[in-house]
Amino acid sequence: MTTGVSMTQSDASPSVPEPFRAPEPALEAPKGAPPAMPRQANIPLTDAAALEAKPILHIQELNLFYGEKQALHDINMEVGEHTVMALIGPSGCGKSTLLRCINRMNDLVANVRIDGRVLVGQDDVYAPGVDVIALRKRMGMVFQKSNPFPKSIYENVAYGLRIQGIKDRAVVDEAVERSLIASGLWDEVKDRLQDSGLGLSGGQQQRLCIARAMAVQPEVLLMDEPCSALDPLATSRIEELIFDLKRNYTIVIVTHNMQQAARVSDFTAFFWMGKLVEVGLTEKLFTNPRVRMTEDYISGRFG
């Protein structure tokens, strides 16, 4: 694979032969009629780093149903190693659902049926008999609302190691310090590691959650609107953090904020009603989208 990102529409769907024309009628189209989308959209890549990125996350022909209702339609995408992929789209478009498919958090929801494949490296996440626990250890997750445990700051960060049964004090100390430094929280909390994590401010709590996710050194960091509950200052700190983390982690971030997507991500995927409309280099997607609907969305005409 030479491209960091590619988007392929399944060949098994011959119902969309013509190129995409206008978003308006498609928006009002009855349910079940998928909007027209380009068959093949291999974007010429300019970013040298992105070109070299080896894909680590593959999502192939993924469909997800909540009971009878289909929430994700035939998603195909890849995320390159040490890049940031932003998932954007209006509310309810399935971007969070997709994120939760990657570490199988949707297993916790009743009546969910998933088919298709999600590969992390070489391993199929949905292969029968896969160890979900071991899988989740390879992927850190940061949630929309900061959710530190009602434990001390130290124990919050150490949690992932503790449940893996790591008792060596030196190892845990080192991991806690490394994660807190990486999340930029170390200088603020190093003197009160034994205080409750709930005593921190909102932005600090979110960075604590990021540190907690990083402590176990996951391969992929999944972020579900990590800044939606934060003020602009805290948001900018997290964005800087994401920028730094990119060097060591592959990040998939769901965001409602298009400026944020533009600022932090290398690649952006635009979703609409459970379908992947367009995916490509962020710079390209925001300045020169290939699909009209993307342009309408990012220019604020709907969504």
Partner 1 sequence: MPSRFKDWWRRGNALIWFSGATLALSLLMIGGLVGYIAVKGLGFFWPSPLVQMQTGEGSILGEVTATEAAQGEDAAKVQFRVGNRDLFGQDYRWVPKAELKGESFPADAVLVERLEYGAFIGRIKSVEKEGQVLAQDAEALAAIRGLVPGAEQLRKKIKGIEKGEVGGLNAQIEDLRLEQRGLEAKAPGSPKLEALRQRAQALQERYDQAQVSLGALHAQAAALTVTLAAVDGQTKTIPLASIVRIVPANALGTFGKLSVYASRLWEFLWDDPRESNTEGGIFPAIFGTVMMVLLMSALVVPLGVMASLYMKEYAKQGWIIRILRIAVNNLAGVPSIVFGVFGLGFFVYTLGGSIDRLLFSDKLPAPTFGTGGILWASLTLALLTVPVVIVATEEALSSVPRSQREASLALGATRWQTIWNVVLPGALPGILTGLILAMARGAGEVAPLMLTGVVKLAPSMPLDGTFPFLHPERKFMHLGFHIYDVGFQSPNSEAAKPMVFMTALLLLLVVVILNLFALRLRSRLRARMGGGAF
Which residues make up the interface to partner 1 (CB under 8 A)?
103, 105, 108, 133-137, 139-141, 143, 145, 147-151, 159-160, 162-164, 195-199, 209, 212-213, 216
In degrees, rounded to 5, the angle at the alpha carbon of residue 220 between the alpha carbons of residues 219 and 221 is 130
d(CA 249, CA 8): 25
Residue nearer to partner 1 on the CB measure, 9 or 144: 144
Residue nearer to partner 1 on the CB measure, 134 or 170: 134
CB of 251 to partner 1, least distance (A): 15
Q: Which of 295, 291, 275, 292 is nearest to 76 (CA)?
A: 275
CB of 228 to partner 1, least distance (A): 13
d(CA 72, CA 98): 7
CB of 135 to partner 1, least distance (A): 8
d(CA 161, CA 146): 20
d(CA 198, CA 200): 5
Q: Are 250 and 80 in contact (CB under 8 A)?
A: yes
Residue nearer to partner 1 on the CB measure, 164 or 288: 164
Residue nearer to partner 1 on the CB measure, 60 or 144: 144
CB of 103 to partner 1, least distance (A): 6
In DSSP terms, 252 is beta-bridged to 85, 222
Residue nearer to partner 1 on the CB measure, 164 or 287: 164
Residue nearer to partner 1 on the CB measure, 1 or 130: 130
**Segments of the chain assigned E as strands:** 55-66, 69-80, 84-88, 112-120, 123-124, 139-142, 220-224, 250-254, 267-272, 275-281
CA dihedral 241→243→244→247, nearest 10 degrees, is 140
CB of 163 to partner 1, least distance (A): 5
CB of 261 to partner 1, least distance (A): 22
Q: Which of 147, 155, 200 is nearest to 173 (CA)?
A: 155
